[in-house]
Structure 1
Amino acid sequence: MNFRIFILFTVPVIYLFLFVTLMQRLGSGDKVAARLKSIEELDILGIGIPEEEIDSPSFFDRVVKPRLVGVSQAISSNIPIDEETQGALAMDLKLAGINMSSQTYIGMTILCALVLMVPLGILFQLIGIILAAFGTFVVARVMLQAKIKQRRKTIENSLPDTLDLLSSCVSAGLGFDQGLLHVIKRTDGPLTDELSQAQREIAMGVPRAEALGRLAKRCDSQPITSFVGAILQAERLGVPIANILETQAESVRDYHRQQIEEESAKLPIKMLFPLVFLIFPIIIMVLLGPAILKIMNSGAL
């Protein structure tokens, strides 16, 4: 029985670690895209690329990853999933910054669940199979939502400094598109990746309003939406964009300050549960324990 309990707690932890690692490796297409972008910039500048700087793909990228993607797509293609669910999942993957199709993600989740069912099914029969299937999908969903929240927070934290730099570029005489390109070259992070995609769309002929609208939809953040709306309104009204950018930077900082104050106001309520159920019982035991022992000993005598 003790061995089964050990397996019950050990196997899910091991597979959870493998699942997280695998999803990160499969969704790490941004590094490849960044490398290709740097190669294109070197080609534009006429700089040759030394052979020793060109890294050959790893064994995982050459052999393991294509096989896993193929198996995942084969599994998900045989499962009836409506287009609305796939579209919502694809949007969540974009918000999380995971470079993976919805079919591949669903197939990988099912594949991990099937692999986890084998040991748990042998040890706990039907209960282990249900636990493996339900646990895998719950963990996958929680991980995806946590990734979305973390990426959105990173974008919102880097937005004020990015707007300050963009405002300085525009105030120095650069146009909005040139200033945006200047900011992209000198910053990095999820916000820079989204701005880079918007800038490429504008360079390809997409109207600025449409490209910035797609940016706001991909980020799904209230400060980004306010920033895009202010830029579009400034273009329609003819207001200097530099002033709008400075105002938006201050607005985002005020938004962050309000978020911090809101989180700090929730701390007493969040601390109530550990205080009542974890700390107070220990304090009562320490204070009343000796008295209770004396009463018990005196009663026994």
Structure 2
Amino acid sequence: MNIVQLLTQRDFLIAVLAAVSMAAVVFTFGSTFIVKSEMKQRIKRVALEREKMRAEEMARLRGGGATEGRGIRRATETKTYMKNTVDRFDLKKAFQDDATVDKLAMAGFRGQGHLTTFLFMRFATPLGVFLLAALYTIFMAPGGRPLYLNLAYSIGAGIVGAYLPVVMLKNTTQKRQFSIKRAWPDCLDLLLLCVEAGMSVEHAFKRVAKEIGQQSAALAEELTLTTAELSFLEDRGRAYENLGRRTGLDGVRSVMTALIQADRYGTSVGQALRVMAEEGREGRMMEAEKKAASLPPKLTVPLILFFLPVLFIVIIAPALIKVFGGPVASTIGGN
């Protein structure tokens, strides 16, 4: 049977459409369960982080040097082989710098377990990519190339693979920051309403964290951690600074600076939030105007490539048919 006939058969098309529909249904329900499980993991991680901070604060108040609490575990348990590899090769000295912990926190990864996993991936990813590339170029697809050239290709692939963990971490950070930045103006408005209604800053953060979770789970997580820090840290400014450092956004840092100054000099928190909320709304409007202004240049290339040729064909085609089709029609009529 011809492939064209097979593709145009009614039963085949019905089977393909049914398969696509079933795949769409499975993907829709599957993505719903994945989002729910991810939200549960985030809530669990925040709860464990709060318990750890509670234990550290209680140990500090009691004057003890230990900061370990009973029954407290990290959100993710590090594999033994990862920890042994990091300790054996001293990967902290090789890959960790002063900004590594802050970069992981911006991506939503906190704790020693995530740091150990990241350092292990920085070490193992280039080796794994090199071995896979060498296996493919030497044994599976040699292509008549000399051995040293295949090894050079494999080493190049390993060098590229060394940047994969950093690129993935940066991508995760950008997605998280975009989610926080999009919901931050609404968060400021809710904070302003709660503070002007008579709530304390701790209760306002806690209330807004519950309300903003549907719009941005990342922002709700950060606000929950800030609520815990405000409850257990003596210096409230430190909790505000930690929020700005974890998010890495200038807008959040400016608001936290305003709250620190209001708490330090005894000024009105509501007034500071009102000013920052107005600036947030103006910034959102300016961002929308910026995107609208950049739309015409972006549409220029698609307009030239796709719209103008079709327009020219529609305009010129009738004239061409009339010019080149006239002699042929007259010849046929004379015969």
| TM-score when normalising by structure 1 | 0.64
Equivalent in the alignment of 1:211: 239
Asked if structure 2 preserves the Cα contact closer than 8 Å seen for 1:96 and 1:144, the reply is yes
Q: Deviations over 1:233-283 (max 9, x none)?
A: 23344433223222212211212222333344455666677788xx38x95
Q: CA deviation at 1:94?
A: 0.8
C-alpha RMSD over aligned residues: 3.9
Q: Deviations over 1:158-207 (max 9, x none)?
A: 11222222222222222222222222343322122222222212211331
Cα distance in 2, alignment partners of residues 170 and 157 from structure 1: 22
What's 1:90 paired with? Answer: 101
Q: 1:106 to 1:252 in 2, by over 3 A?
A: same
Q: Retained in 1: the 8 A contact 2:244–2:253?
A: yes
Distance in 2 (alpha carbons) for counterparts of 1:259 and 1:232: 27
- Cα distance in 2, alignment partners of residues 227 and 162 from structure 1: 11
| Residues 209 and 224 in structure 2, CA contact (< 8 A), matched pair in contact too | yes
Q: Which residue of 1 aligns with 2:158?
A: 133
1:230 aligns with 2:241: no
Deviates more, 1:189-198 or 1:115-124: 115-124
Q: d(CA) in 2 for partners of 1:192 and 1:89?
A: 23
- Aligned equivalents of 2:284, 2:298: Cα separation in 1: 20
Give, as a single letter, the amino acid of the residue that structure 2 aligns with 1:32: K
Q: Distance in 1 between matches of 2:167 and 2:272?
A: 37
In structure 1, how many angstroms separate the alpha carbons of the residues matched to 2:104 and 2:78? 19
Query: 2:145 corresponds to which residue?
Result: none
CA distances 1:105-138 after superposition (whole Å, capped 9, x unpaired):
1212432333333332023231342243123233
* 8 Å contact kept, 1:212–1:228: yes
Deviation at 1:211, TM superposition (A): 1.2
- Residue 72 in 1 paired to residue 100 in 2? no
Deviates more, 1:183-192 or 1:211-220: 183-192
The aligned counterpart of 2:209 is 184
CA distance in 2, matches of 1:239, 1:224: 19
Seen in structure 2, the aligned counterparts of structure 1 residues 106 and 267 have a Cα distance that, compared at 3 Å, is: farther
2:177 aligned residue = 152
Q: Point out the more displaced range, 247-256 or 179-188.
A: 179-188
| Distance change in 2, residues 1:208/1:36 (3 Å) | closer
Q: Which residue of 2 aligns with 1:117?
A: 130
Q: Distance in 2 between matches of 1:148 and 1:204?
A: 27
After TM superposition, the structure 1 = structure 2 runs for residues 1-301 of structure 1, keeping only pairs within 5 Å, are 30-34=42-46, 66-67=78-79, 70-77=80-87, 78=89, 82=93, 85-99=96-110, 100-124=113-137, 125-188=150-213, 189-267=217-295, 279=305
C-alpha separation between the residues in 1 aligned to 2:266 and 2:50? 36
Cα deviations by residue, 1:66-89 (Å, 9 ceiling, x for unpaired):
54xx33333333155547843322
TM-score (norm 2): 0.58
* d(CA) in 2 for partners of 1:250, 1:174: 20
Q: What residue identity is the alignment partner of 1:239?
A: T
1:72·1:111 contact (CA, 8 Å) conserved in 2? no
- Which has the larger displacement, 219-228 or 237-246? 237-246
CA distance in 1, matches of 2:134, 2:261: 60
Matched-pair contact (CA < 8 Å) for 1:90–1:101:
no
Cα distance in structure 2, aligned partners of 1:218 and 1:35: 17
In structure 2, the gaps of 5 or more residues are 1-36, 52-74, 138-149, 321-335
Change (3 A) 1:179 1:81: closer
